[in-house]
């Protein structure tokens, strides 16, 4: 029987691991049990956001002596997914997922389970292509198996961290006569997220692998996953996959459910998901805080330039990238429903939910 | 008996007046009746936002031949308040207020009334001081009288457009041996909004004039107005005041009510206001759209750096000013409640509602 | 015999035409003689820079009564090229070019001549393609003929203002089953500038028309013009072309020469050009100011991510677009050589000079 | 006899220490000799620039095992000064200063010497006040003594790294009834730099201590140092001081001289300094590269809003902070003179050189 622990920890900056160390020193977190850390860090969430890399390194250096290994080895043992960008009310924080195998018996009701997997490193020219789709799909299946999630219907959230193209990587590909999918770094983030999300959709059976071609990536918005969340980061060369779902092999004190926001202001879908988890959205801030641990979701500026038929300006803004606008908007809508601002809303939802909308999952205490 | 008309008009850019001209050509708006235009334009809403000035000039040039006067004269006849910044889902638009004196009889229930007034031009060193407070209070009283609003209890929204300090104006003050309230242009916008809001609070009796000193402006957050909305713009030297409220001297087909958001994610206050207007927040998008014309509100990053006790990063962000973050967040929350994104959410709520929160008003069809 | 006048006019904002009106009222500029206005305006120079459109409209409204025509007719009579972005020391200003046909005799030495032409409006899907290349080349030849410039060797600067793709235009093309060259507005600016510059190169004979294919646009950097300067703007649907060069048919009191900066810090090329114009770069600020009227040039972040073999960060910066960085850098280098900061340095030099460098022209008093 | 080594090391990101480790592994740098590291990192250089802190931590973690101490102890042993912001052509890099006491004899000509010192930690309310001035002056004298620099005339560059006010620190001061010098974080950076620079000026005798009051800090621009360079960073609570100059007690293979740029485009002063070091500015790129190691300098937007009497827009830009504009401009001017873009140009030159200008120092091989 596995037991998953979930700890949401606030921080004063991307390098502040003090909250986690306090919990470790108090015995509430056993470092050896940590399988994944999902963080929101206060960078721009785009190409030159070094807060993701900095936070990951800070975690690795902090855990290294406690796990008796090097910082580099820690980085390959635990799935670190840092999503940059805390626009608007969003508050930087880390969510630590632990997993322990126990001999406990369990009443049999499904509970939160988690599994992780890594793909091989990608060549620059493979990003944003069907190669990335297939490798990601394979990793999702491995992570499901590790989590003990029997059916794709029990998968509620698949987080992928994927690489992006820097100008160095683009030059490398070109020097070898290869054509990268994008010549701009910011644009490559979207391509990498798109292929990763389609990989999730293939693994969950939401779409057939044969339905995906290089031409449909970031173009055919009818293809999407309702449980995928992909973030691109400059610090990795491979995909990291975290699968969360419900399993009878788990006796965690947590449950998870998911939904899809139709557009950036669709608070109704989130309220409906809370109700499926037996949480009354109107029961007051204190009561909500006791049940809801975190919301994990994706945001994007609707690619047709409109929200419910009315023009938005996010895609024409050359001062603030559209992912930043979308995180600020969706982050505030989510926070207004659940009453807390330390929620995980990540930008760029290509093939993650319908165009302009995005999937989300709620992790709650039973 | 006065009758106030309200027309919300979408646009494709700050210089696009075509929507208004279509209504004028169709006879739905008589240019001679226009008393105020409140616009959201797609600039940065800060110092170097020329979309406000551009939109105002475009309106003046478009109306000049239709009012048989020069563009400059139009600018002094109609109260133009352009609020820059359409971050997140916010959609650029103009709200045109018309007023016509009629011989119609009326059933006696109060309806939407509007009045406008202007202060004298301010010297650079007067901005952000009690001079601006007093002149604004006087203008509010004039506008109330013009609107036929008998009691301050019937005032639901007071929009003020106020000047800011450019480096040229700062240098001018310094050259005359005067000390402007701020040496940075962006900072001066907050000072000017603060004094203007306190002027409203004095006029409505929310605070005593004797309670305001130069030291309390932008410092003592216990002093605030629940109906004030102030926007600073580079294009004017004086304050423009628009008072909206309910009056038995009006038989408009519109009503107005207001509330105060306690913080940036306080959707509950907005829902409560809708219910006071006999609008069920859950009655569906189409039904909401039929009743709600627009929401006018203010947003700000909480000056203590926290939302409900949890850190936000808006005040430490040197890439995106905090007013932009706050508009994106509050704009999305408002849009998620009323189901429309062409709402008037303006940034910088110093002394406008409590710290971190802001006043709002809903204009609805009866 | 034609006589070209050149007036550089500072301004306090994009809508400030007062400097020009003063010169017109004083009789120094005859509005009927104005053929072109090239401005630097203080927007971001990218997609949502409305200062270009605002400045153009301000000029048109100001000149309309003085030319006894509508503002719209003024816009089609005079070539307005507004380049957004005054990063670093760059100072917003307008350069007004006038042309008058006179009966004066002339000593025969070539002098500054100018001609303008317009292409037809482009469909969204034509931007950044060989269609735009060919139409631009044709317009350049028309403008050369109008200027009385006999040989392409006498062409020293060709300014093109070209359209960009907004999300509306992209959606329009897609709705008709057409594929626009870019799906991002910012990216489309580079494509439009690239095709325009290659059109100039074809017209001047710097490259053969057969050498250009859709695949080589924004890809084969060996193809470039040493006299082309292209700026993209949201406000037009067609290309505006201004050709400047030397002609014996002109007795202007001005001369022009050009050069190419090899990279963003190549001050030597500019100094060499000054010497060809018999201007000693070390002769002191006052003497330089008497001879040099303006420098017109292009800037770009080197697409290989390096300046003289050393990494720059302009292409990986998601907060500030690379065109803004490049204008700040090259603008300061040019200003440091000529001793004045009101120079016309425009961003985005695709196929305009070698990769990472850019063409420039110096207009000087004889 | 002391011998100072200077190594300029390029990097691929703020966390890339590989270049230094290569030199250490090759025996070219003895980690025990490192006294100071001055880096340019690719953040925004303003409040929320975590690349400074990240780079410092990366250095500390990399050196810890090589110095057999903890990372925290490394941070207190070596003076790390990371200046954020590589706008325009500026290239991220680190300059490592080593110092070794030797028994070598020396010909007696003065050579580059270096010394460092730290102040005590400051309370939030002490930043930007005469307290910071005095403590800094004291530290400068300590560092001079450590460097063996006999006369203030031999001091050519004093680098200070100083704290800034975050919203947390501001709240802390206010909660104790204290008034911090600024209520905005970005503004506090200027105040801290200003007091630090005046501390240098007091130590070098450029101004009398009695000439400085709290009122003159960031106000009386007639008070300044021609050798001070101050950078503010979120990662420290105290001032770090590095003094560089010429000393007969040094037999380093390096020399240093300094100058002051009158304004942002004053390339002449830099050329004159090169000539004083017997370096011909026109001797070609390769020859310049052999002599010049690095240029250390300060940049700022002229506070009167003008460069040589002509308006700039840096102070009114709410999208890009003026320090970023100034670094882009001055960095490019410096690079265009010395032919290399990995130069140390730091933003915010309050009381560092005259208003709008800034001090610089050139370190060259003999």
Distances (CA, A) of B311 to A88, A220, B34, B301, B315: 11, 39, 44, 11, 10
Residue of B nearest to A302 (CA): B89
Q: Which chain D residue is nearest to residue A169, measuring alpha carbons?
A: D12
Instruction: Show Cβ contacts of residue D47 under 8 Å, excluding neighbours closer than 6 positions.
Output: B316, B317, B318, D164, D166, D185, D186, D189, D234
Q: Which residues of D touch C342 (CB under 8 A)?
A: 310
pTM of the model: 0.95
Which of B267, B320, B326 is the closest to A320 by Cβ?
B320
Does position D185 have pLDDT exceeding 90, yes or no?
no
Higher pLDDT, residue C185 or C285: C285
- Which residues in chain A have their CB less than 8 angstroms from residue B265's CB? 89, 332, 335-336, 339, 341
Interface with chain B: mutation pick from D47, D316, D321, highest number of B CBs within 10 Å: D316
Residue of C nearest to D315 (CA): C88
Angstrom distances, CA of residue C81 to CA of B175, C35, C113, C353: 36, 11, 18, 20
- pLDDT of D105 over the 80 cut: no
Strand B358-365 versus strand B254-261 pairing type: antiparallel
Domains of chain D, start order: 2-101 (3.30.1330.170), 111-244 (3.30.1330.180), 253-365 (3.30.1330.160)
Interface of A with C in 153-182 (CB under 8 A): 166-168, 171
Are C250 and C2 spatial neighbours (Cβ–Cβ below 8 Å)? yes
C106 has a pLDDT exceeding 70: no
User: Which residue from C108, C359, D315, D277 is spatially nearest to B164, judged by alpha carbons?
Assistant: D315
Cβ distance B313 to A337 less than 8 Å, yes or no, reads no
Q: Partners of B161 in the beta sheet?
A: B231, B240
Minimum-distance CB partner of D89 among C44, C90, C329 = C329
Q: Are B313 and A42 within 8 A, CB to CB?
A: yes
Would you state the pLDDT for residue B185?
82
Tell me the average pLDDT across B236-244.
95
A245 annotated as belonging to a binding site for a ligand: no
Average the pLDDT over each of B113-122, B220-229, C252-261, D175-184 and give the range with the smallest value: D175-184
Q: Taking residues C242-255, what's their average pLDDT?
A: 96
**How many whole angstroms separate alpha carbon B50 and alpha carbon D133?**
40
- Nearest-Cα distance to chain D for C233, in Å, is 20
Quickly tell me which residue has 């790390």 as its tokens: D80
Q: Which of B192, B196, B231, B250 does the annotation list as catalytic?
A: B231
Does any CB of chain C come closer than 8 Å to the CB of residue D267?
Answer: yes
Is the pLDDT reported for residue C165 higher than 70?
yes
Q: What phi, psi does D205 have (nearest 5°)?
A: 80, 10
Tens of pLDDT along chain A (366 residues)?
A: 899 999 999 999 999 999 999 999 999 999 999 999 999 999 999 989 999 999 999 999 999 999 999 999 999 899 999 999 999 999 999 999 999 988 777 668 999 999 999 999 999 999 999 999 999 999 999 999 999 999 999 999 999 999 999 888 998 999 999 999 998 888 899 999 999 999 999 999 999 999 999 999 999 999 999 999 998 887 789 999 999 999 999 999 999 999 999 999 999 999 999 999 999 999 999 999 999 999 999 999 999 899 999 999 999 999 999 999 999 999 999 999 999 999 999 998 899 999 999 999 999 999
| C-alpha–C-alpha distance, residues C270 and A203, integer Å | 59
Count helices and strands (H / E) in chain C. 9, 14
Check the annotation: does A84 bind a ligand.
yes
Is the CB of residue C306 less than 8 Å from the CB of residue C324?
A: no
The whole-angstrom separation of Cα B257 and Cα C34 is: 55
The CB-side HSE value for B97 (13 A sphere, CA atoms) comes to: 25
Question: Cβ distance D156 to D245 under 8 Å?
Answer: yes
Rounded to a whole number, what is the distance in Å from the CA of C90 to chain B's nearest CA?
15
Residue of A nearest to D320 (CA): A319
Quick check: C331 contacting D, CB < 8 Å? Answer: yes
Instruction: Round to whole Å and give the CA distance between B165 and B185.
Output: 5
Chain B residues near residue A339 by CB distance under 8 angstroms: 265, 308
Give the CA dihedral D22, D24, D28, D29, nearest 10 degrees.
130
Residue C116: closest CA among C151, C76, C67, C88:
C76
Residues of B in contact with A90 (CB under 8 A): 312-313
Mutate to test the interface with C, among B54, B61, B320 (most CBs of C within 10 A): B54
| Measured distance CA(B101)–CA(A302) in Å, rounded | 44
Contact pairs from chain B to chain D, CB under 8 Å:
57
Q: Does C186 touch chain A (CB under 8 A)?
A: yes
A-chain residues near D52 (CB < 8 A): none
Phi, psi of A306 (to 5 degrees): -140, 150
Strands (E), chain D: 2-10, 34-41, 79-84, 93-101, 111-121, 155-162, 228-232, 238-247, 254-261, 292-299, 306-307, 310-311, 344-347, 358-365
Contact D336 C10 (CB under 8 A): no
Mean pLDDT for all residues in chain B? 95
Quote the pLDDT of residue C103.
80
The full length of chain D comes to 366
Rounded to whole angstroms, how far apart are CA atoms A330 and B332?
7
| Residue C63 region by backbone torsions, left for phi larger than 0, else alpha for psi between -120 and 50, else beta | alpha
Is the per-residue pLDDT at C66 higher than 70? yes
pLDDT surpassing 90 at residue D108: no
Q: Are A339 and A282 in contact (CB under 8 A)?
A: no
Predicted confidence at residue A361, as pLDDT, reads 98
Report whether C163 belongs to an annotated binding site: no
Question: Considering only CB atoms, which chain C residues are within 8 Å of D265?
Answer: 89, 332, 335-336, 339, 341
The secondary structure of residue B201, as a DSSP letter, is: H
- Which residue, among B188, B190, B318, has the nearest Cα to D166 in the 3D structure? B318
Q: Which residues of A are part of the catalytic machinery?
A: 161, 231
Q: Say whether C349 counts as a known binding-site residue.
A: yes
The C-alpha atoms of residue B116 and residue B99 are separated, in whole angstroms, by 11
Give the gyration radius of chain C's Cα atoms: 19
Cβ-Cβ contacts under 8 Å for C176 (sequence gap 6 or more): none
d(CA B267, CA A238): 41
- Distances in Å between the Cα of B213 and the Cα atoms of B129, B134, B194, B206 are 8, 11, 12, 15
Three-state SS at C223: coil
D318 in contact with chain A, both atoms CB, cutoff 8 A: no
Answer yes or no: is pLDDT of D166 > 90: no
> Chain A residue with minimal CA distance to D15?
A54
Q: 């005593």: which residue's tokens?
A: B208
CA distance C295 to C287: 16
The DSSP H or E segment spanning C268 is helix C267-276
Take residue C208 and report the two structure tokens written for it: 């053969």
Q: Is C326 helix (H, G, I), strand (E, B) or coil?
A: helix
pLDDT number for residue B106:
65
Residues 6+ apart with CB under 8 A from A253: A111, A365, A366
Give the chain B residue whose CA is nearest to the CA of C12.
B168
In angstroms and rounded to an integer, the radius of gyration of the C-alpha atoms of chain D is 19
* Count of C-beta atoms within a 10 Å radius of residue D134: 18
C-alpha C128/C-alpha C162 separation (Å) is 10
Smallest CA–CA separation between D320 and chain B, in Å? 7
The predicted pLDDT at position C183 comes to 83
Kindly report the length of chain C.
366
Read off the pLDDT of each residue in D116-140 and give the average, rounded to a whole number: 97
Q: Cβ contact (<8 Å) for D15 and A42?
A: no
C partners (3+ CB pairs within 8 A) are A, B, D
How high is the pLDDT of residue A234? 79
D285 touches chain C (CB under 8 A): yes
What single DSSP character describes residue B54? H
Cβ count within 10 A of residue B106: 16
Percent of chain B exceeding pLDDT 70 equals: 99
Exposure string (b/e) for C198-228, b if CB count within 10 Å is 16 or more? bbbbbbbebbeeeebeeebbbeeeebbbbbb
CB contacts < 8 Å between B and C, how many?
Answer: 47
Concerning whether B231 is annotated as a catalytic residue, the answer is yes
Residue A295, pLDDT score: 98
Measuring CA to CA, which residue among B68, B216, B206, B91 is closest to residue B137? Answer: B206
The pLDDT of residue A226 is 96
Nearest CB to D89; choose among C10, C312, C342: C312
Contact with chain A for residue B326, Cβ under 8 A: yes
Residue D168 Cα, gap to closest chain A Cα (Å): 9
Residue A187 dihedral angles phi and psi, to the nearest 5°: -65, -35
CB-CB contact of C34 with C97 (8 Å): yes
Contacts of B120 (CB under 8 A, 6+ apart): B135, B238
- The reported pLDDT for the residue numbered A106 is 65
Please tell me which chains touch B, using 3 or more CB pairs under 8 Å as the contact test: A, C, D
Contact of A158 with A140, CB cutoff 8 Å: yes
Do residues C157 and C244 lie in contact, with contact meaning Cβ atoms separated by under 8 Å? yes
Of A13, A54, A319, which to mutate for an interface test with D (greatest number of D Cβ within 10 Å)? A54
Contact C131, C122 (CB under 8 A): yes
Residue-wise pLDDT tens digits, A141-169: 999 999 999 999 999 999 999 999 988 89
Please report, for residues A222, A355, A357, B285, D194, the alpha-carbon distance to residue A308 in angstroms, rounded to integers and kept in the order given. 18, 12, 11, 10, 51
Residue A184 confidence (pLDDT): 81
Chains contacting A (3 or more CB pairs within 8 Å): B, C, D
Active-site hit among B161, B192, B225, B247:
B161
Interchain CB distance below 8 Å, A12 and B311: yes
Is any Cβ of chain A less than 8 angstroms from the Cβ of D53?
A: yes
Q: Say yes or no for a CB contact (<8 Å) between A53 and D54.
A: yes
Return the residue of D nearest to B185 by Cα: D316
Q: Which of C196, C216, C231, C302 is catalytic?
A: C231
Name the pLDDT band for B234 (thresholds 50, 70, 90): confident
Tell me which residue in B168, B185, B305 faces D171 most closely, judged by beta carbons.
Answer: B305
Q: What whole-number percentage of chain C has pLDDT above 90?
A: 91
- Rounded CA-CA distance B218/C120 in Å is 55
CB A41 within 8 A of CB A55: yes
Q: Does B43 touch chain C (CB under 8 A)?
A: yes
Residue C186 has a pLDDT of 81
Alpha helices in chain A (DSSP H): 18-25, 51-67, 71-77, 130-147, 167-175, 185-204, 267-276, 285-291, 322-338
Angle, nearest 10°, between helix axes D51-67 and A51-67?
Answer: 30
* Band of pLDDT at residue C184, cut at 50, 70 and 90: confident
Asked whether the predicted pLDDT for residue B54 surpasses 90, the reply is: yes
Query: Which tens digit of pLDDT belongs to each residue from D226-244?
Result: 999 998 887 789 999 999 9
Task: Give the active site residue among D216, D225, D229, D231.
Answer: D231
pLDDT at residue number B168: 86
Task: Find how far residue A309's CA is from the centre of its chain.
Answer: 29
Task: Please answer yes or no on whether B166 and D316 come within 8 Å at the CB atom.
Answer: yes
Residue D310, beta-bridge partner list = D307
Of B35-44, B101-110, C230-239, highest mean pLDDT:
B35-44
| Of residues C42, C57, C168, nearest to B15 (C-beta) | C57
CA dihedral C298, C299, C304, C306 (to 10 degrees): 140
Q: What is the pLDDT of residue D106?
A: 65
Q: What is the mean pLDDT of the segment spanning C117-133?
A: 97
SS3 B94: strand
Q: Is residue C231 within 8 Å of residue C81, measured between CB atoms?
A: yes
């Amino acid at each position: 029987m596995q037991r998953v622990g979930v700890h949401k920890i606030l921080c004063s900056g991307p390098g502040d691991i003090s909250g986690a160390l306090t919990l470790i020193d108090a015995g509430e977190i056993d470092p050896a049990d940590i399988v994944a850390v999902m963080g929101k860090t206060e960078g721009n969430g785009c190409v030159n956001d070094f807060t993701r890399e900095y936070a990951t390194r800070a975690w690795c250096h902090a855990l290294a002596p406690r796990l008796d290994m090097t910082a580099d080895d820690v980085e390959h043992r635990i799935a670190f997914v840092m999503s940059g960008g805390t626009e608007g009310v969003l508050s930087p924080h880390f969510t630590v997922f632990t997993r322990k195998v126990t001999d406990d018996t369990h009443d049999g009701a499904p509970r939160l389970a988690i599994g992780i997997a890594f793909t091989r490193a990608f060549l620059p020219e493979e990003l944003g292509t069907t190669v990335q789709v297939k490798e990601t799909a394979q990793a999702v299946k491995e992570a499901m198996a590790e989590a003990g999630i029997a059916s794709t219907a029990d998968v509620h959230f698949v987080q992928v961290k994927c690489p992006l193209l820097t100008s160095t990587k683009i030059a490398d590909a070109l020097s070898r006569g290869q054509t990268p999918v994008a010549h701009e770094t910011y644009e490559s983030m979207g391509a990498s997220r798109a292929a990763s999300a389609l990989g999730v959709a293939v693994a969950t059976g939401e779409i057939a692998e044969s339905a995906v071609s290089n031409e449909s990536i970031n173009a055919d918005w009818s293809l999407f996953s309702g449980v995928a969340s992909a973030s691109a980061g400059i610090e990795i060369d491979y995909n990291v996959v975290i699968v969360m779902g419900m399993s009878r092999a788990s006796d965690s004190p947590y449950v998870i459910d998911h939904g899809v926001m139709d557009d950036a202001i669709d608070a109704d879908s989130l309220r409906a998901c809370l109700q499926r988890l037996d949480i009354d959205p109107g029961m007051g801030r204190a009561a909500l805080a006791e049940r809801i641990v975190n919301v994990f979701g994706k945001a994007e500026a609707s690619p047709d330039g409109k929200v419910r038929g009315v023009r938005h300006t996010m895609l024409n803004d050359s001062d603030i990238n559209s992912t930043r606008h979308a995180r600020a908007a969706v982050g505030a809508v989510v926070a207004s429903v659940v009453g807390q601002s330390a929620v995980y809303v990540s930008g760029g939802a290509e093939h993650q939910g319908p165009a302009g909308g995005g999937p989300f999952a709620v992790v709650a205490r039973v």
